[in-house]
């Protein structure tokens, strides 16, 4: 079977992963409306391609928070990579480094931050943080990440409690006994009473700020009001995200929310987006609407499920080729030429 586009990897993963793992990765909250809307919303955006631009050389490189990446697609934080591939996050880290892009390692990794670092020294990585009831545990994680050379701290804001994913409830999902949320092993066990702290508020950004010199990127923002608050609380970046539709169902598609967040932010901090990216042209649309970079979640897992590090590189390479081609066909020779004039919202 030729792996031509990302849905080939999805089909592979659906076929070969254990059902309980596939269901966990695929799950959306409740009716999965938002999960699916993330994809559909891209289809309602139309390009306005420009002809007869010199696109003999197409430069797809960009920078995020000052670091150059080979193209504006990074790896979003997702949990439990060993469910997809035995080497877990170590493979992810290697693939991201090989493709010269950014990998946001999740708190809920099945490898430790140290293992991830050691697997791919020198790779550009950010660390995704949930603030726990046990604040000391969170503080320790942040400081470990900083010490290991992670270059950004991504605070996830949309999980005061876990969303209701019906299939996980039906399956009684839990990690197989041989896998562990290793980063937190000492502190507490997953799948008992949730360790996440639902009392976190905007003021906790100041507390985080006091712990680390890493830039803070806030993830889960969907409205102009929260975007304004994020900027005022001094974050360095915003990831427009609805957690892949796994938390509050029937919130906005992220590409739709991106528009209002970008407008509110007015360039004061970098804005990124995740959710629903399935083709290189989706990346182009997100950038045209103001994202500095996008992050992929499930497609990275499909790549891992296919062939580990190599499979994830395949996924990234396809996105890269498709993104470059889309840019050329839209008349853009470099990322800086991408702008809102390239897209319009379909009336349908």
Does 206 carry a binding-site annotation?
no
Binding segment for a second copy (CB under 8 A), chosen from 62-70, 87-95, 153-161, 306-314, is 153-161
Does 246 carry a binding-site annotation?
yes
Please list every residue from 131 through 150 that binds a second copy, using CB under 8 A: none
Does 277 carry a binding-site annotation?
yes
**CA–centroid distance for 175 within its chain:** 21
Q: Determine, following the binding rule CB under 8 A, whether residue 328 of this chain makes contact with a second copy.
A: yes
- The distance of closest approach from Cβ of residue 229 to a second copy in the complex, given in angstroms and rounded to an integer, is 8
Nearer to a second copy, 54 or 177 (CB): 54
User: What are the DSSP E strand ranges found in 31-148?
Assistant: 45-47, 62-64, 67-69, 73-75, 103-105, 125-129
Nearest Cα to Cα of residue 182 among 117, 226, 254, 135: 117
Nearer to a second copy, 97 or 246 (CB): 246
- The distance of closest approach from Cβ of residue 162 to a second copy in the complex, given in angstroms and rounded to an integer, is 9
Catalytic residue among 81, 132, 233, 243: 243
Give me the numbers of helices (H) and strands (E) for the chain, helices first please.
12, 12
Does 221 carry a binding-site annotation?
no
Nearest Cα to Cα of residue 292 among 319, 269, 324: 269
**CA–centroid distance for 18 within its chain:** 23
Taking the C-alpha atoms of residue 6 and residue 320, their distance in angstroms, rounded to an integer, is 12
Nearer to a second copy, 17 or 221 (CB): 221
81 assigned to active site: no
Nearer to a second copy, 54 or 122 (CB): 54
Taking the C-alpha atoms of residue 81 and residue 340, their distance in angstroms, rounded to an integer, is 36
Q: Determine, following the binding rule CB under 8 A, whether residue 32 of this chain makes contact with a second copy.
A: no
Please list every residue from 257 through 296 that binds a second copy, using CB under 8 A: 279, 281, 285
Judged by CB under 8 A, the number of residues near a second copy is: 64
The enclosing H or E element of 344 equals strand 343-345
Q: 294: phi > 0 → left, psi -120 to 50 → alpha, else beta; which?
A: beta
Nearest Cα to Cα of residue 272 among 63, 111, 83, 56: 63
Count the Cβ atoms, other than its own, within 10 Å of residue 190: 16
Q: Determine, following the binding rule CB under 8 A, whether residue 170 of this chain makes contact with a second copy.
A: yes
The enclosing H or E element of 217 equals strand 216-221
Please list every residue from 40 through 59 that binds a second copy, using CB under 8 A: 43-56
Nearest Cα to Cα of residue 100 among 62, 59, 129: 62
**Residue selected from 322, 323, 335, 338 as contacting a second copy according to rule CB under 8 A:** 322
Nearer to a second copy, 113 or 257 (CB): 257
Place of tokens 């943080």: 129
Q: Determine, following the binding rule CB under 8 A, whether residue 244 of this chain makes contact with a second copy.
A: no
Nearer to a second copy, 112 or 157 (CB): 157
Taking the C-alpha atoms of residue 235 and residue 244, their distance in angstroms, rounded to an integer, is 22
Pairing of strands 237-240, 343-345: unpaired
Q: Determine, following the binding rule CB under 8 A, whether residue 330 of this chain makes contact with a second copy.
A: yes
Please list every residue from 215 through 234 that binds a second copy, using CB under 8 A: 218, 220-223, 225-226, 229
**Residue selected from 38, 110, 117, 326 as contacting a second copy according to rule CB under 8 A:** 326
What lies within 8 Å, CB to CB, of 63 at 6+ separation is: 69
Give the 3-state secondary structure of residue 92.
helix
Active site (catalytic) residues = 243
Interacting residues with a second copy (CB under 8 A) = 2, 4-5, 30-31, 33, 43-56, 157-158, 160-161, 163-164, 166, 169-170, 197-202, 204-205, 218, 220-223, 225-226, 229, 247-252, 279, 281, 285, 321-322, 325-326, 328-330, 341, 344, 348
| Known binding-site positions for FMN | 77-79, 106, 128, 130, 156, 219, 241, 274-278, 297-298
| Known binding-site positions | 24, 77-79, 106, 128, 130, 156, 165, 219, 241, 243, 246, 274-278, 297-298
């Amino acid at each position: 079977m030729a792996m031509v586009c990302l849905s080939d990897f999805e089909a592979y993963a659906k076929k070969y992963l254990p059902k309980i793992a596939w269901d966990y990765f695929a799950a959306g909250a409740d009716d999965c409306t938002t999960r699916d809307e993330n994809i559909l919303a891209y289809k309602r955006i139309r390009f306005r391609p420009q002809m007869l631009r010199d696109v003999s050389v197409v430069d797809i490189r960009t920078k995020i928070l000052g670091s150059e990446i080979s193209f504006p697609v990074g790896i979003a934080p997702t949990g439990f990579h060993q469910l997809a591939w035995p080497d877990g996050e170590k493979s992810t880290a290697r693939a991201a480094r090989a493709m010269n892009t950014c990998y946001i390692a999740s708190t809920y990794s099945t490898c430790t931050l140290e293992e991830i670092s050691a697997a791919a020294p020198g790779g550009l990585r950010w660390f995704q943080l949930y603030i726990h009831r046990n604040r000391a545990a969170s503080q320790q994680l942040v400081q470990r990440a900083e010490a290991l050379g992670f270059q950004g701290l991504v605070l996830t804001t949309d999980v005061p409690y876990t969303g209701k994913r019906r299939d996980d409830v039906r399956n009684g999902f839990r990690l197989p006994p041989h896998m562990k949320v290793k980063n937190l092993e000492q502190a507490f066990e997953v799948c008992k009473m949730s360790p996440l702290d639902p009392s976190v508020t905007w003021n906790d950004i100041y507390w985080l700020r006091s712990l680390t010199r890493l830039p803070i990127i806030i993830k889960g923002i969907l409205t102009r009001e929260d975007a304004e608050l994020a900027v005022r609380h001094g974050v360095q970046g915003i990831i427009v995200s609805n957690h892949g539709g796994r938390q509050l169902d029937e919130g906005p598609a992220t590409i739709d929310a991106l528009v209002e967040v970008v407008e509110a932010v007015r360039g004061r901090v970098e804005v990124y987006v995740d959710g629903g990216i399935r083709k290189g042209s989706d990346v182009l649309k997100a950038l045209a609407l103001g994202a500095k970079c996008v992050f992929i979640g499930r497609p990275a897992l499909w790549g891992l499920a296919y062939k580990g590090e190599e499979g994830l590189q395949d996924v990234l390479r396809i996105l890269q080729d498709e993104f470059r081609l889309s840019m050329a066909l839209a008349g853009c020779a470099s990322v800086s030429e991408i702008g809102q004039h390239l897209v319009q919202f379909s009336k349908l």
